[in-house]
Chains A and B, each alone.
Chain A
Amino acid sequence: MSKVTVPMLTVSNLKRVFDVSAPWLNRILEGKGKSIVRAVDGVNFEINKGETFSLVGESGCGKSTVARLIVGLYEPSDGSINFEGVEIGPAPERARHPDIQGRMQMIFQDPYASLNPRWRVGDIVAEPLRFRKLLSDSAAIDKRVGELLSQVGLSPLDARKYPHEFSGGQRQRISIARALAGEPEFLVCDEPTSALDVSVQAQILNLMKELQRKLGLTYLFISHNLAVVYHVSDKVGVMYLGRLVEWADTKTLFARPLHPYTRMLLDAIPDLDMTGRSRTPVAGEVPSPLNPPSGCSFHPRCPLANERCKREVPKALPVEGGAVACHAVEENRLPPWKTQAAA
């Protein structure tokens, strides 16, 4: 394709800090300073229309914060989010673009917490329709709700039930129906399947792919499960302590991961073919984001770290198929990646 694709969503130098200091009096009495968590620390990426971009990383790496910043549940501390050429900054600004607000929807992780237990499913799904005044008369709303429910594999009759009458997978379908009600083009999915069993996860992932094909949706997919990410995404970004350490298109990233952290993650996945074989155990744990290491934040766990890594924050270098932020890659100190036995 020679056509120049304009990215649907461009995130540049996005930052978000949280003040987690003790109360003022305690700080004075105990002589402590303020403590700031840099949950998202300068993240850049683009998502093209119709694509699925995934963010992976371990707990506390800031991937959910990115999702919440994009949909406007948090205000960015710095940086910009550009949606189809329109700068959508902090929430007050966003109110000026009601159309954009509606074109973006979010699916949450926990289908037990994200549906109001006292509302009927029909009202839950109809809320975006009513809020955005897409339809006004109740017969049309009921009809649309029925359509949406059938679209996600539920029965239109389920509209009369309450969320507790459904299993986890069915509730996640209701969340998807609600997200689709606003006729969005862009869906932010924050760990949509991590609370579900594998067989139900397969159903939901298949449904999401089907909807993407039918409705031309664009997804930002947040997950900690690399196998799921490999299955759904076109491009993948790997986050570590608030920074994007590597991004590439899915095939490239999984075939030749460059960043030592990405390699570590890939090594750590148990595989069905691994019977009897041990995974390379990784030393160390994710450091506290309150007190991140100097330089490259991965250096205490990195087998390739040198003096420079401890001092200097690596910049993202463009490589074939993506970009990577690592001094070892820049200095050509990276050992070749063992190609995994392809079955």
Chain B
Amino acid sequence: MTSPKLLEVKNLRVEFPTRRGTLVAVDDVSLEISAGEVLGVVGESGAGKSMTGAAIIGLLEPPGRIASGQILLDGRRIDNLPYHEMRKIRGRQIGAIFQDPLTSLNPLYKIGDQLIETIMTHLPLNQAQARDRAVKLLEDVGIPSAAERINSYPHQFSGGMRQRVVIALALAAEPKLIIADEPTTALDVSIQAQIITLLKRLCREHGTAVMLVTHDMGVIAETADRVAVMYAGRIAEIGPVQDVIKRPHHPYTTGLMGAIPSMVGKVERLTQIDGAMPRLNAIPKGCAFNPRCPKAFDRCFRDRPDPMPAGKSQAACWLVEEKAHV
């Protein structure tokens, strides 16, 4: 394959059938990640960012299911693989880091055993080799005296150290892609800085691509190459991180940036986006952002915009088309 696209998501739609009708958690999402690239996915709670990640790695909780669309890893479709096939990919080719490091580790097993199990599942190594590799991985993620700490249980580690172990687990089989779902949200800022630096360094060294799901724009700004802003299950804007932050095209992105308290200069009032994200069972007709949008016009209430080119980015907003015509 000559295509540099490691992961391609095409028109992904994730549905949750419920007694009161079908909820669409992810609606027509298309994105790509190249090898070694960090794609940030931001949005507020319920925007569908974690769902997108879970769909890619094949861990949607039933009754959630992929209703349509395709997910391709290295040109191969992975969204319709049977369970045992997907298990081989998960961990080996796609690693995962979740928000809460305490619940992603089994409290009853020593961290060494958890690492060794993962390594031996995916790589053709014997117990002793796997153990050496586990120690090496723990050293890589910055755990002091790794050879001894390998015999500790998760509760003997602090939150930041646990997240390091989780990163070591995710990297254990040298996957090509890591889905990191809010990896630093549960951590203090000083520890957050350490973890982000670590994640960046390791991915550069191993050439791993990362899909970084977070609600923290600051983390995205310093880590990601490109960023996708999600709103109500759809991509509102996607593009190079500098362009999206400095020259947002979608009013939601603009609002989101203004809402972040800044440390430079002092404003009396933060820009606020009135109202709240619609519930999944009450997504408005047309553009889902129209009830909160200060610039909404008649077309926004009628038709749903798809991402269209806007500068170096793509934005799903009719204003972009309006401007292009003027």
Contact = CB atoms under 8 A, between A and B. Distances in A.
A197 B272 contact: no
Interface string A254-293: 1000000000111111111111111111100110000000
Contact of A167 (B241, B255, B276): B276
Nearest to A60: B188
Interface in B255-274: 255-274
Given A271-B222, A275-B222, A281 B197 contact: yes
B290 to A, nearest CB: 16
A205 B268 CA distance: 10
Interface centre among A200, A209, A280, by most chain B C-beta atoms within 10 angstroms, is A200
B194 A206 contact: no
B122 interface: no
B192 A268 contact: yes
B276 A206 contact: no
B160 interface: yes
Given A206-B269, A265-B189, A227 B222 contact: no
A169 interface: yes
B146 to A, nearest CB: 16
B263 A254 contact: yes
A198 B193 contact: no
B257 A264 contact: no
Contacts of B158: 285
Nearest to A57: B188
B44 A197 contact: yes
Given A231-B261, A281-B194, A202 B270 contact: yes
A239 B272 CA distance: 30
A110 to B, nearest CB: 14
Contacts of A228: 261
B33 to A, nearest CB: 18
A199 B44 contact: yes
A224 B189 contact: yes
A202 B261 CA distance: 8
Contacts of B270: 202, 205-206, 231
Interface string A231-250: 10000000000000000000
A275 B221 contact: yes
B200 interface: yes
A343 B261 contact: no
Contacts of A268: 189-190, 192-193
Interface string A165-185: 001111000000000000000
B259 A343 contact: no
Contact of B276 (A169, A265, A270): A169
B263 A274 contact: no
Contacts of A265: 189-190
B217 interface: yes
B191 interface: yes
B219 interface: yes
Nearest to A227: B261
A270 B222 contact: yes
Contacts of B266: 230-231, 251
B82 interface: no
Interface of A: 58-59, 167-170, 197-203, 205-206, 209, 224-228, 230-231, 251, 254, 264-282, 285-286, 340, 342-343
9 contacts: A202-B260, A203-B274, A209-B268, A251-B266, A267-B193, A272-B245, A272-B257, A275-B242, A279-B193
Interface of B: 44-45, 158, 160-161, 188-194, 196-197, 200, 215-219, 221-222, 241-242, 245, 255-274, 276
